Amino acid sequence: MKKINLAVVGATGMVGRTFLKVLEERQLPIDNFYVMASSRSAGSKLTFNGKEYTVEELTEHSFDKPIDIALFSAGGGTSEKFAPIAAAHGCIVIDNSSQWRMDPEVPLVVPEVNPEDIAWHKNIIANPNCSTIQAMVALKPLDDKYKIKRVVYSTYQAVSGAGLAGWKDLENGLKGEAPKKFPHPIANNCLPHIDVFLDNGYTKEEMKMVNETRKILHNDEMRVTATTVRVPVFDCHSESINIEFEKPFEMDELLETLKNAPGVVLQNNSAANEYPLAVDAAGHDEVFIGRVRRDESVESGVNIWVVADNIRKGAATNAVQIAEEIIKNMQ
Ligand code: A2P
């Protein structure tokens, strides 16, 4: 197998460190490996595959050396400036920020859902929002079978989605300290506010879910609405998803469809109190689905509960899976 040169940009961050872990676990065929971050952490050391690497400061010249793939998770501003520089040097950027996701020239990919979109990249591929990724893994098999008409998302999102600073706000908040990252205490609280508010009254996080769903499922007409909520949970996003279909369905068949879908683990035994839980999903790469029940208020609809590790499948693992697809096609 061809070995590639790979860089992680934002390697010291929460997602960045998980990139290293997932790359190690999945044993990507890496030749030269680079870790990059801001000047703040340049010179610090990170261990990868048992070897120490020195963090380099990300600059305009970071991609002068041959790098095949760069995994970026260093914020939108960094991606806006440096992804085009990397791309111009022939490096394929897999970007975890929201910067390029809705650019019509940039594929937005969940490998279980729309791997075919990778083919038309122009050296930048976007990793979707964490809440969108887990929802797509659940929705795609149902859309293929019953054609989705409308989706209502309600999310219960972990503080790790707001990076190290979000994590600290919960940790310190539980000791009675005031929040630094969030506008209100997150300990013992639920904040219906993720990312900034937009003119239409939605938050940017909510509109990411709406727009990214349509782009990934290739359906600009799909009716989608969302309420995204930050909850006092460290890891894993939970989502209640209400779905309305064009076509009728039989519950047995729908459950079988979900059970056989790639990347899905069905945990749907309410009689035994079995349903997906954040504490169980943490550290895993699958999307867990349960509480599947017919929405009796519409002709053809269903309610599901979907949980996944937002730092792994919602960010690092999804990006590494995209890298694996690219490497497969390089052979
Ligand atoms: P640094 O450690 O040098 O600040 P998180 O979202 O968990 O806070 O992580 C953000 C990541 O993005 C960190 O690795 C951080 O590096 C990196 N980062 C932030 N700003 C820049 C920048 N201007 N250039 C390169 N890396 C950046």
Identify the pLDDT of residue 181: 98
Taking the C-alpha atoms of residue 155 and residue 206, their distance in angstroms, rounded to an integer, is 9
Candidate of 46, 78, 95 to mutate for ligand 1, largest count of ligand atoms within 8 Å of Cβ: 78
Two structure tokens written together for 73: 């998770």
CA of 79 to the centre of ligand 1 (A): 11
Instruction: Output the pTM of the full model.
Output: 0.97
Of the listed 91, 121, 130, 236, which one is catalytic? 130
Task: Please list, residue by residue across 241-270, b when 16 or more beta carbons sit within 10 angstroms of its beta carbon and e when fewer do.
Answer: bbbbbeeebeeeebbebbeebebbbbbbee
Two structure tokens written together for 181: 């990252």
95 in Cβ contact with 127 (< 8 Å): yes
Protein residues whose CB sits closer than 6 Å to any atom of ligand 1: 10-14, 16, 37-38, 40-41, 58, 74-75, 78, 163-164
158 in Cβ contact with 167 (< 8 Å): no
Two structure tokens written together for 306: 């979907």
Which residue has the least CA distance to atom 27 on ligand 1? 38
Taking the C-alpha atoms of residue 301 and residue 243, their distance in angstroms, rounded to an integer, is 5
Identify the pLDDT of residue 2: 81
Residues of the chain predicted below pLDDT 50: none
Helix (H, G, I), strand (E, B) or coil at 166: helix
Which residue has the least CA distance to atom 18 on ligand 1? 74
Residues 12-28: pLDDT tens digits?
999 999 999 999 999 99
Helix (H, G, I), strand (E, B) or coil at 28: coil
CA of 252: how far to CAs of 26, 256, 259, in Å? 34, 6, 10
Residues 218-243: pLDDT tens digits?
999 999 999 999 999 999 999 999 99
Beta strands in the chain (DSSP E): 4-9, 30-37, 45-48, 51-54, 56-57, 69-72, 92-95, 124-126, 148-157, 223-230, 237-245, 264-266, 287-294, 301-308
Taking the C-alpha atoms of residue 100 and residue 121, their distance in angstroms, rounded to an integer, is 12
Taking the C-alpha atoms of residue 79 and residue 60, their distance in angstroms, rounded to an integer, is 12
Helix (H, G, I), strand (E, B) or coil at 307: strand
